[in-house]
Structure 1
């Protein structure tokens, strides 16, 4: 029996959650859902992969499903702001899964794609809008959206917003929201700027903090190769001679470096593609879908572009460049641990 029933969510939501195979809430879901069902503001400190999306989206969907209203044109009842296109798409996909059958109007908006379909959807009024800062500001400036009807605002990955240089954009968007609203702020870390922002936008918030992972999961086997830079590619080719590594995710530091690796792999007749912010959204989506469908054996990604990647059965993660932040290392190799009991990350220095 699903433990989600204890939250008194709508029956259709419980059914959808069960269909996704969720029976026991994660720690952040246990802490957040009861608080949010009461309409309280919340400060959540937790990393990607802890179940945050369900933690904040299930209560939102439940409230909207129970309290349907006529939505005014160019408005949305709830706004979820997140840093990257991939993460925005992933959040929207999960929300649409959870809300199936409730008739809620939802839309995800981000740059790199045509805006007219986004404008048309917003013009009809939305229950839930998931957005990245740049495109949302563009829609605000052209008068294609207003926030008078916003009941709930979610700021996700706040520290990533700061790292990516979106902080001023985020503050500009927040300044246009109605004062009376429920506000949720999630961040993996709490630098001074985020603490100041939290104090400014949250009203008597409940605080939920999920301990950050400081060690890697036991199911992931790890190996380290120390070698000269000139030997990286030969070693990479040698590793990929193992046919058991059917779906390989490679992390590197720069967009330029990702493209170089892909070209080298293609010369060796290894199907590969890169995923980074220098690619158009259409190209990024095509690469990710081909990787999911096993039409590509290797996907080479930067950390920023990899936010929101959710791919089944990744058998090998390679850190072509080690990240400067240990948390990113845990995040990277966790891509194998979610769905594969035995995985084999290699770290090429």
Structure 2
């Protein structure tokens, strides 16, 4: 993709806007305090924050945990659309490509809902219109009765090739195709300048972290090697194709031991073992690693796409934390369990 204006000037305005938006994120020390609130107090708290407009708009239709869930989803979509609205040229293009994650997420959500026979209203309310597919378009696709109709609706989108062979049934292949399509697009969208090379490493590191989660899940479940390889994504920073093939071939104990060969060991060393009962702590630590890494690299090139990617990640993490606390309180989970799921 060619743009007339090169250099850092094109990022000055959008990064200034993002700094202002980032300053309004909930501070990490607030989340432990929220764990001492009940659901009504949590709803009131977010209703007095940057989520006020969303809570006010939806309070007539929803209450309790449903109000919190929908307010969070609406705010996330509204926030990301704002990034697109205030950006132009190269920043706009890269933000668009990065936010296609949500188109992929929504297509998966719709297909899963169809596969499991979820009520139409439940599927429609689960979509988050934060990508290029608008809310009305997503609601329309969700209302379609056949998989073929859904594929036809996606014909004029970049996603059709990933779903074209899907005939219904098990979702792993089509979901994997969608993930691979997303990362192939974002990898090819980043240029070759010094700052853009760091952006490329950022995306490649994200691929590594996704592959690590997949490896832990599938190897702990003892899936066949070929099935695991099919689920992995090429293009990682440290986990090259040869590394992935080697890791897939290892026994579970040797796989755990092999993590010492990678920089991600610093995040994983305290939470993984041969007899680890759960993957929750592993996933949380990798998410924390992603947050720390995005923050670090965003400071290297402040007039680049990196601070914007960092904000996108931090905003989504804020939503996840708020949702986890609210759901935890609704389900009467202990604070210790809730805290294990938070990324701060």
Q: Same fold (TM over 0.5)?
A: no
Q: Could you say which structure has the greater relative contact order, defined with CA pairs below 8 angstroms and 6 or more residues apart?
A: 2
TM-score (norm 1): 0.25
Higher helix share: 2
TM-score (norm 2): 0.25
Higher strand share: 1
